[in-house]
Amino acid sequence: MPTTHVNHNHLLYFWVTAREGSITAASKVLHVTPQTISAQIKLLEDSLGVELFERRGRGLGLTDAGQTTKVYADEIFGLSRELQAALRGEPGGSVRELRVGVSDALPKLVCHRLLEPTLHMREGIRLICREDGVERLLAELALHNLDLVLNDAPIPQGVNIKAYNHPLGECGVVWMASPDLAERYRSNFPEGLSGAPFLLPTEDTALRRSVDAWFDQHNIHPRVMAEIADSALLKHFGDKGEGIFPVANLILDEVGQYYNVVPLGVIDGATEKFFAITVERRIRHPAVAEIRRRAQSGLFDGAINAL
C-alpha cells in the first residue's frame, strides 16, 4: 500500500536522476553508486504506488506520474534553496527561476517582448535564457532542464517527446533593406525582385517556408546571398546592405531604429507564428502563465497586415 509520507531523501535521488537524464549521471552528482540510486528510487515508487521511470531505448524516460512528481520536486527543492538563502540573509532568496529555451530562428526583439513582463512580476523571477536549435532545446525540455521552449512552429513531427503547444500569437512579415536597396527595388515591387540579393532564414524554419511560397506565388527567382539561422546576425548583414531580408512587422519600428534599414513591402500571405512549448498541458509555472496571458491579451493585435 502507498504510504502518506514522502521520504525526501528518496525524492532527492529521483529528482537528480530526472534532471540529469540517467542513473549513471546522477550517481556522479550525488557521489553514490548507481545501485544505491536505483534502490532509493524503487523505495519511492513503492511508497507512492506508481512507476516514475520507463525504459525508452537504452535510456530512461519519465512516466506521466514521473513528470508530475518532477514538477513538485522542482518546487520542493527550490523552496529548500530559498529557505537556506533567506536564513543566511542573502538577497533574492525568494526568487524563482524561469528557464527558457529560445529557438535561434526567432526574432530576438519579439522574444524580448514576450519575456520582459516576467521580470516585473510581484513574485520574483530570475530569467535564464538559452538559444539553440529547436530539437536540442526540446531534448532539454524533455529532461526538465527547461521550463519552456519558444519556437516559430509547433513541435516538429518525428520528435519523440511528450509536450504541449501553447499558441501565443502571430504577425505579418515585411521585406526590409538598406535605403539604397529599397530605393532600387521599390518602384517595381514585387515583380522586379527577380535577381535581387536576398538574405534568408535557413530552410528548416517556418518563416523560410512562407517566404519560399511567396517567391513561387509571384514567380520571383531570388539571388540568395546567404542563409542565416540566427535572426540577429541576419539583420546585421542587412544593415550592411548585403541583401533584402524578412522581418516580423510587430518589430518593424525597433528594427528601423537599431539598423540602417527601411521597409520595402509586405510579404502578403506570410505570417510568423510564436509558440510556447511545455511538458505540461496545464501551465503551472506562474511566469509561463504570465507570458501566455500577456501575449494573448493584445500583443499581436493588428500585426498581421500592418506596414
Give the model confidence (pLDDT) of 267-303 as tens digits.
Answer: 998 889 999 999 888 888 889 999 999 888 878 876 5
84 falls within a domain: no
Cα separation values, 202 from 7, 194, 208, 218, 276, Å = 49, 20, 6, 20, 21
Provide the CATH number for the domain around residue 61.
Answer: 1.10.10.10
Lowest mean pLDDT among 79-88, 144-153, 198-207, 242-251: 79-88
Would 219 be classed as within a structural domain?
A: yes
Q: Is 172 exposed, middle or buried (0-12, 13-18, 19+ CB in 10 A)?
A: buried
Highest mean pLDDT among 12-21, 80-89, 209-218: 209-218
- pLDDT of 252 > 60? The answer is yes
User: pTM score > 0.75 for this model?
Assistant: no
Is the distance from CB of 178 to CB of 238 less than 8 angstroms?
A: yes
Domain identity same for 41 and 143 = no
* Residue 271 belongs to a domain: yes
Is the confidence at residue 223, as pLDDT, over 80? yes
Residue where a domain terminates, one of 52, 79, 106: 79
Q: How far apart are CA 169 and CA 274, in angstroms?
A: 6
| One domain for residues 62 and 149 | no
Q: Are residues 154 and 230 in the same domain?
A: yes
- Say whether both 100 and 32 belong to one domain: no
Q: What is the spatial distance between Cα 239 and Cα 225, in angstroms, rounded to a whole number? A: 14
**Range of lowest pLDDT (37-41, 88-92, 293-297):** 88-92
Q: Are residues 63 and 157 in the same domain?
A: no
Look up the CATH number of the domain holding residue 276: 3.40.190.290
- Which of 283, 264, 279, 273 is closest to 304 using CA atoms? 273
Report if residue 89 sits inside a domain.
no
Q: What are phi and psi of 226, to 5 degrees?
A: -160, 150
Q: What is the pLDDT of residue 41?
A: 93
- Span 97-121, pLDDT tens digits: 899 999 988 888 899 999 998 988 8
Based on the fold, state whether residues 225 and 253 are members of the same structural domain. yes
Are residues 55 and 193 both part of a single domain? Answer: no
Give the rounded percent of residues in the chain with a pLDDT score beyond 70. 92
Kindly state whether residue 90 falls inside one of the protein's structural domains: no
Average pLDDT over residues 65-94: 73
Residues 294, 184, single domain; the answer is: yes
Q: Which of 287, 293, 278 is nearest to 168 (CA)?
A: 293
Residue 284's pLDDT is 85
Does 166 fall in a domain? Answer: yes
- Strand partners for 56: 59
Indicate whether 35 and 144 sit together in one domain: no
- Between CA 302 and CA 252 the distance in angstroms is 13
Is residue 249 within 8 Å of residue 303, measured between CB atoms? Answer: yes
Asked whether the predicted pLDDT for residue 175 surpasses 90, the reply is yes
Containing structural domain, residue 281: 95-307
* Nearest Cα residue to 155 out of 173, 167, 144: 167
- Same domain? 117 vs 20: no
- Please report the pLDDT score of residue 87 as a whole number: 72
Residues 107 and 246 in one domain: yes
Cβ(149)–Cβ(103) under 8 Å?
A: yes
Please compute the mean of the pLDDT values over residues 84-104 and round it to a whole number: 74
pLDDT band at 176 (very low <50, low <70, confident <90, very high): very high
Q: 3-class SS at 4?
A: coil
User: Is position 147 within any domain?
Assistant: yes
Q: How many domains does the chain have?
A: 2
Same domain? For 135 and 74 the reply is no
Q: How sure is the predictor about 88, in pLDDT bands with cuts at 50, 70 and 90?
A: low
Residue 86 belongs to some domain of the structure: no
The mean pLDDT value of the chain amounts to: 87
